[in-house]
Amino acid sequence: MQGLIMDTPLLISSLIEFAARYHADTELVTRTVEGPIHRYSYADANRRAKRLANALAGLGVKPGDRIGTLAWNTYRHFETYYGVSGIGAVLHTINPRLFEDQLAYIVDHAGDSYLFVDLNLFPLVERLIEKTPAVKGVVVMTDANSMPTSERIPNAICYETLIAGQSERYDWPTFDEKTASSLCYTSGTTGHPKGVLYSHRSTILHAYASALPDALNLSAGDSIMPVVPMFHANAWSLPYVATLTGAKLVMPGPKLDGASVYELLESEGVTFTAAVPTVWLMLLAHLRESGLKLATLKRVVIGGSACPRSMMEAFEEEYGVQVRHAWGMTEMSPLGTLNTPKAKHLGESREAYFDRGEKQGRPIYGVDIQIVGDDGAELPWDGKAFGDLRVRGPWIASGYFHLDQSPAHGSDGWFSTGDVCTIDPDGYVRITDRSKDVIKSGGEWISSIDIENIAVGHPGVAEAAVIGVAHPKWDERPLLLVVPKGDAKPTREQILKFLDGKIAKWWLPDDVVFVKELPHTATGKLLKSKLRDDFKDFKLPSA
Ligand code: ADP
């Protein structure tokens, strides 16, 4: 027997319609690429997204066509999120920080028919265009006055001119909720990037779950600033959760330095923000240098890489801002686990609060997890056993775009994340490594992430990375690479002494090397494959 409930498909266009109808005058504020602050309402955004929908039809864009964007967090990018997906086409957000060859590969592999590009990224597209012959046109997301002239792309289209002549009357079409809505490639540290193809259904379900109190905890009373880019896993779904809840949205544009982020947080009464740890290092440095405080910010979600305890303590103790540690991946839309207390944790000591808070958190409803050993057998949730983390659920990728084989997708319906972790009896996950970064010493695993997180708590350390280096007796031993903070000159002995007592004795790195900088991926993660390569002949003193 079937239920007697309306069969309304879950479509992305319904989010902007909802916001425009019930939160019509709620603001969306942008620091534009051109410079000035731009502000308008969800009603305005919906009208312009509809103009864009009409314009796309005029360009001959059909349902299923891929439209690439190379753009920062701005109101125009927001309009493409709704205009492109709303007509049934696929919004392909591209990370402009990737290498040019990777960018060309991605645009070509996705089969993008048009590229929408921000003014300051147009030179990048001018260099790319020869390598992407299938692209039919380039739309520069600016107004006629700021429109660049270009020999390589003489027929580039101006976004404002494109939508100006269009009607704001448009009925968003209704179609199957499993239709593809957007596409995002994971940067990947090896091999070609792989495309994750989201559906309308997965996007809406994920946005619903994300808004929940134990997830991002958002409401119409919030002012949200996604510092995490809209090209990085849909800005962790914030452009969708904002319309779903009717929260105010503050877009930081291309300026992500501490001073610029701070200025918007304060001037727009931001209550909630989210980004990777690197961004927050810049903000905290700015706050400390200038002696400033955060007046309105209540909560910050930190993920993408492990959030060091020292960062959590700084936000909470010095600035009164609650930190929520989160783990996820592009393949997971991206939220998987978030760290909030259970009822039994209420009243825990500060020490216990940070011990728990350091972990990546518990799964939100919709995400099922397990850890397995080398033999594929499930491991216990005792907070000690390390294993490969596997996930499944209605917003987790079932495969990759135009890729027949995915070794990460098992025939049993689980997706192997490539992360290694422990899970405690309460279901809190602690990510200890990427599986390819695991250090195996005498047959036992050492967590590089744990050591790095403690090392950056030393006042003289700006950044730290731990890699395994070959050792004749132990197979591998940890080597700690340190970027000193400012003018600080910490010594090897000081750093080792600082770690001593905070980790198991046999986890203590065999050596410390000071470096000027560490290599990162396009999404700001440590590129350990490069470090392992650079240090493959390194002789440990103990070897
Ligand atoms: P990309 O490699 O393209 O940046 P993702 O952003 O999808 O791809 O990266 C997902 C990976 O980032 C996870 O598999 C995990 O290794 C790492 N990660 C994400 N959040 C955390 C976290 N809170 N702690 C540790 N690692 C994290």
Q: Which of 32, 80, 186, 337 is catalytic?
A: 186
| β-sheet bridge partners, residue 223 | 248
CA atoms of 371 and 378, how far apart (whole Å):
6
- Give 501's DSSP letter: T
Q: How far apart are CA 52 and CA 474, in angstroms?
A: 61
Does the pLDDT value for residue 190 go beyond 80? no
- 56 pLDDT band, cuts 50/70/90, is very high
Percent of the chain exceeding pLDDT 90 equals: 88
Tens digits of residue pLDDT in 472-486:
888 899 999 999 998
The secondary element (H helix, E strand) that includes residue 208 is helix 200-211
Question: DSSP state, 305?
Answer: S
Please check whether residue 288 is in contact with residue 266, taking contact to mean a CB–CB distance below 8 angstroms.
no
Most confident among 244-248, 304-308, 467-471, 531-535 (mean pLDDT): 244-248
Distance 361 CA to ligand 1 centre (A): 14
Place of tokens 């200038």: 290
Reply yes or no on whether the pLDDT at 176 is more than 70.
yes
Mean pLDDT for 313-337 is 98
Nearest residue (by CA) to ligand 1, atom 10, is 329
Distances (CA, A) of 64 to 88, 118, 453: 6, 23, 43
- Ligand 1 site-directed mutation target among 431, 452, 528, most atoms within 8 Å of CB: 431
- Paired tokens of 315: 């936000």
Residue span(s) of the chain under CATH 3.40.50.12780 come to: 32-213
Expressed in angstroms and rounded, the spacing between residue 325 Cα and the centre of ligand 1 is 12
Alpha-carbon separation of residue 152 from 112, 124, 129, 146, 535 (angstroms):
18, 11, 8, 18, 42
C-alpha of residue 44 to centroid of ligand 1, in Å: 35
Provide CB contacts within 8 A for 416, sequence distance 6+.
388, 389, 390, 407, 408, 409, 410
Domain 32-213 has CATH 3.10.129.10: no
Strands 511-514 and 475-484: parallel
Q: What is the pLDDT of residue 521?
A: 84
Q: Ligand 1, closest atom to CA 306?
A: 24
Residue 529: its pLDDT value, please?
87
CA distance 502 to 279: 26
> What is the Å distance from ligand 1's center to 42 Cα?
31
Token pair 């923000």: residue = 273
For residue 415, the CA-to-ligand 1 centroid distance in Å is 15
Coil vs helix vs strand at 392: strand
Ligand 1 atom closest to residue 330's alpha carbon, by position in its atom list: 7
C-alpha span between 426 and 414 (Å, rounded)? 21
Q: What is the Å distance from ligand 1's center to 189 Cα?
A: 11
| Chain segment 432-444, per-residue pLDDT in tens | 988 888 898 888 8
Cβ neighbors of 419 (< 8 A, separation 6 or more) are 327, 388, 389, 431, 433, 434, 435
Segment (H or E) for 83:
helix 75-86
Query: Mutation test of ligand 1: which of 184, 237, 279, 327 has the most ligand atoms closer than 8 Å to its C-beta?
Result: 327
Reported as a single tens digit per residue, the pLDDT across 95-152 is 999 889 999 999 999 999 999 999 999 999 999 999 999 999 999 999 999 999 999 9
C-alpha distances in angstroms, 72 versus 5, 33, 97, 188? 40, 8, 11, 21
For the CA of 334, the nearest atom of ligand 1: 7
Model confidence at 180, in pLDDT bands (50, 70, 90)? very high
Q: How far apart are the first and last CA of the chain?
A: 70
How many Å apart are CA 309 and CA 35, to the nearest integer? 35
Residues 6+ apart with CB under 8 A from 66: 89, 90, 92, 110, 111, 112, 113, 183
**Catalytic-labelled residue, pool 27, 161, 348, 445:** 445
Catalytic one of 136, 440, 536, 539: 440
Do the bridges between strand 415-423 and strand 429-434 make them parallel or antiparallel, or are there none, so unpaired? Answer: antiparallel
Ligand 1 atom nearest the C-alpha of 524 is: 4
pLDDT given at position 524: 81
Q: What pLDDT score was predicted for residue 276?
A: 93
Considering only CA atoms, which residue is closest to atom 12 of ligand 1? 304
pLDDT tens per residue across span 15-31:
999 999 999 999 999 99
Q: Does the pLDDT of residue 420 top 90, yes or no?
A: yes
> What is the mean pLDDT of the segment spanning 375-402?
96
pLDDT per residue over 227-263, tens digit each? 999 999 999 999 999 999 999 999 999 999 999 999 9
The pLDDT tens digits for 262-318 are: 999 999 999 999 999 989 999 999 999 999 999 999 999 999 999 999 999 999 999
The atom number, within ligand 1, closest to the CA of 431 reads 25
Residue extent(s) of CATH 2.30.38.10 domains in the chain: 366-434
* Residue 191 pLDDT > 80: no
Query: Above pLDDT 70, what percent of the chain?
Result: 99
- What is the rounded radius of gyration, in angstroms, for the C-alpha atoms of the chain? 24
pLDDT tens by residue, 207-229: 999 999 999 999 999 999 999 99
Instruction: Mark whether 280 is an active-site residue.
Output: no
Which of 525, 527, 529 for mutating ligand 1's site (highest number of atoms within 8 Å of CB)?
A: 525
CATH 3.30.300.30-classified regions of the chain? 439-534
Q: Which residue bears the tokens 């999404």?
A: 523
Q: What is the CATH number of domain 366-434?
A: 2.30.38.10
Tell me the pLDDT band of 189, cut-offs 50, 70 and 90.
Answer: low
pTM of the model: 0.93
Nearest atom in ligand 1 to the alpha carbon of residue 326 is 23
User: What H or E segment, with its residue span, contains residue 446?
Assistant: strand 444-446
How far is the CA of 253 from the CAs of 36, 39, 398, 414, 525, in angstroms? 10, 13, 32, 37, 21
Kindly state the helix (H) or strand (E) to which residue 290 belongs, with its residue range.
Answer: helix 277-290
DSSP 106-135: HHHHHTEEEEEE-GGGHHHHHHHGGG-TT-
Higher confidence at residue 505 or residue 21? 21
Q: Give me the catalytic one of 331, 358, 452, 463.
A: 331
Q: Has 273 been annotated as catalytic?
A: no
Q: What is the distance between the alpha carbons of residues 426 and 423, in angstroms, rounded to a whole number?
A: 8
Ligand 1 atom at minimal distance to the Cα of residue 187? 3
What's the pLDDT at 302?
A: 97
How sure is the predictor about 89, in pLDDT bands with cuts at 50, 70 and 90?
very high
- Please provide the CATH number assigned to the domain covering 439-534: 3.30.300.30
The rounded mean pLDDT for the chain is 95
> Which 3 state secondary structure label does DSSP give 385?
coil
Nearest C-alpha to atom 6 of ligand 1 is from which residue? Answer: 329
Task: Provide mean pLDDT across the span 349-362.
Answer: 97
Average pLDDT rounded to a whole number, residues 162-172:
97
List, chain by chain if needed, residues with CB within 6 Å of any ligand 1 atom.
Answer: 186-187, 233, 303-306, 325-327, 329-330, 334, 360, 417-419, 431, 434, 521, 523, 525
- H helix count then E strand count, the chain: 17, 25
Catalytic residue check, 358: no
d(CA 33, CA 120): 7
- Centre of ligand 1 from the C-alpha of residue 304, in Å: 4
Within 13 Å of residue 496, how many CA atoms lie on the same side as its CB? 15
Give the closest residue (by CA) to ligand 1 atom 13: 329
407 pLDDT band (50/70/90 cuts)?
confident
Candidate from 419, 430, 435, 466 with most ligand 1 atoms within 8 A of CB, to mutate: 419
Burial (0-12, 13-18, 19+ Cβ within 10 Å), 491:
exposed
> Does the active-site annotation cover 342?
no
